[in-house]
A and B are shown apart, each in its own frame.
Chain A
Amino acid sequence: MAKRIDVSGLTAYYGSHKAIEDISMTVEPRSVTAFIGPSGCGKSTFLRTLNRMHEVTPGGRVEGKVLLDDEDLYGTHVDPVAVRRTVGMVFQRPNPFPTMSIFDNVAAGLRLNGSYKKSELGDVVEKSLKGANLWNEVKDRLNKPGSGLSGGQQQRLCIARAIAVEPQVLLMDEPCSALDPISTLAIEDLIGELKERFTIVIVTHNMQQAARVSDRTAFFNLSAVGQPGKLVEIDETERIFSNPSVQATEDYISGRFG
């Protein structure tokens, strides 16, 4: 269920503006990789190139290779829609479909894929909600709108929705930045459980969070505003936070940035 990601020489543009330049890295399966770095360094842009969401933005385009195991996501015959069914995503602000019930939100991806049996739908929804640690809170109101939940519950609903289609990889773009500390803790615990089944990549502004949840950490930086963001280094999280090999990483982590 989890695949390795191999990125080589990846550069992404917004129109003529180069947002990130020449990024290469490997993301191990069944692990959590955190992206940290200052605002505007392109870590979210990079994340969005991993499921071909970047090109949805007007003017967005990408050069380079992203291999999922051995398949190039940017190959000529690859359908971006199929890529996004394989690489799931959770966004910064919880975004359950407001016009759908909790049940329908979780089932939305399955219904899109069309590859499910009607009788199994309820089981998959239950399993996904349990997987997102939300089942006990919502099992009595599955037919109520998802927008009635708290922010933290909504974000876990979005995670349930993403894992319901059994993706190979789960991308998380600052999933806790709109949540209070208790909801954040719940999501972090959940990430620890989910990495048994999925390859997880998480962008975060919270360095303690990166230290808590991730196995490996990548530090992104940009030399000046308007310059493309670059990958400074990627290493074991423990090493990044104790003894990074690049001075800029240490400056950023210890708060002596800029």
Chain B
Amino acid sequence: MDISTKTTAPPAPTDPPTPSLDKRGARGATRPGDRIFLGLSRGSGILLLVIMAAIAAFLTYRASMVLSKNDGNFLTTFEWNANATPPVFGIAVLAFGTIVSSVVAMAIAVPVAVGIALFITHYAPKKLGGTIAYVVDLLAAVPSIVYGLWGALFLVPHLTGFYSWLDDYFGWTGIFEWQGGAPRTLLAVGILLAIMILPIITNVSREVFRQAPLMHQEAALALGATRWEVIRMSVIPFGRSGVISASMLGLGRALGETMAVATVLSPSFEINASLLDPGGGTFAQNIAAKFSEATEQGRDALIASGLVLFIITLVVNGAARAIIARRKEYSGANA
């Protein structure tokens, strides 16, 4: 028997007319709560874009005021006399110092952070892991000026031994040559920055590693993998993109760190191949050091340097996203 005959019985003549579901005419089914929430979330999104655009516009406008007057080459001059007439300034040394100190910080912090995160999630007993995670969180709560003071008063004086050891064994590379000056150089800054960005990289990596699916860890175990091999085959590949994101957060902080660097570094407007000898400053540190005594024109020059830092950060983030997107097919999230 045909099913449709059962379901399409004609409506009884006494049926009341179907009431309209739409009581508000053309404005449709939006309730006040929906409208308010939509407005708030859309507004937040737009606000963010407006703020970013405003910052970029401000930086570009103020920078353009002074760049045309610059008597040196903005990109290559090893000098910062922005208050003079005509002004002479260039960011070469600042870019060098910023990038080198951040690279040093990343080279130290990322492996240590990944190690701590793996230890907490896959090796340590629960209580010990929790304690370590808590201590790492505490590191994140220390204000950067305190790091700066600790760096200048404790870390730097204790680095002389390490510097001379590096010079003895690795001085031949040129990177670790030391003339014997105070260790207030890019290496010291890199070490301090590494400690400062350790918590954020550790915490984000820890979260990612903790979510590594048990089924893939068991797959590796059942193939006869040791604990380390399980981590190498299933946990690290799963957490890879998360660790990259975490590192970018850390790098962002390292690139822009101001007070701690300004307290520890003794800046000089020269570039030196050795991390142990004076040479280089950073964008943020230079702005902090020069801002109070800068004329209007000098401030514009500092703002121009800030614009470069802004661009560097954007490029680094874009590169990180590209790396993550390139291996999307193999992402652990496809499980």
Contacts and interface: CB of A to CB of B under 8 A. Distances in A.
A150 to B, nearest CB: 14
Contacts of B238: 98-99
Contacts of A100: 237, 330
B218 interface: yes
A88 B333 CA distance: 26
Contact of B329 (A81, A97, A145, A162): A145
Interface in A60-118: 81-82, 84-85, 88-89, 91, 93, 95-101, 108-109, 112-113
A44 interface: no
A175 B305 CA distance: 62
A53 B335 contact: no
B218 A91 contact: yes
Given A91-B218, A95-B218, A97-B234, A147 B334 contact: yes
Interface string B215-252: 11011111111100100011001101000000000000
Given A108-B233, A145-B329, A147-B335, A95 B223 contact: no
Contacts of B213: 95
A96 B330 CA distance: 11
Contacts of A91: 215, 218-219, 222
B93 to A, nearest CB: 42
B221 A84 contact: yes
Contact of B216 (A51, A82, A95, A148): A95
Q: Which of B224, B225, B240, B335 has the most CB of A within 10 A?
A: B224
A134 interface: no
Given A97-B219, A99-B237, A112-B229, A81 B224 contact: yes
A165 interface: yes
A256 B218 CA distance: 36
Contacts of B234: 97
Contacts, number: 82
B331 interface: yes
Interface string A186-222: 0000000000000000000000000000000000000
Nearest to B225: A112
Contact of A53 (B222, B233, B237, B240): B222
A234 interface: no
Contacts of A109: 223-224
Contacts of A98: 216, 237-238, 330-335
B223 A162 contact: yes
Contact of B219 (A81, A95, A165): A95
A162 B222 contact: yes
A230 interface: no
Nearest to B327: A99
A3 interface: no
B334 A145 contact: yes
Given A91-B215, A112-B229, A99 B332 contact: yes
A113 to B, nearest CB: 7
A98 B331 CA distance: 7
Nearest to B329: A145
Nearest to B213: A95
23 contacts: A51-B222, A53-B218, A56-B221, A82-B224, A84-B224, A84-B225, A85-B223, A89-B222, A91-B219, A95-B335, A97-B220, A98-B216, A98-B237, A98-B238, A98-B335, A99-B330, A100-B330, A112-B223, A112-B229, A112-B233, A144-B329, A161-B219, A161-B223
Given A84-B223, A144-B329, 16 more contacts: A51-B222, A53-B218, A53-B222, A81-B225, A84-B221, A91-B222, A95-B215, A95-B335, A97-B216, A98-B331, A98-B333, A99-B238, A112-B224, A112-B225, A162-B222, A165-B224
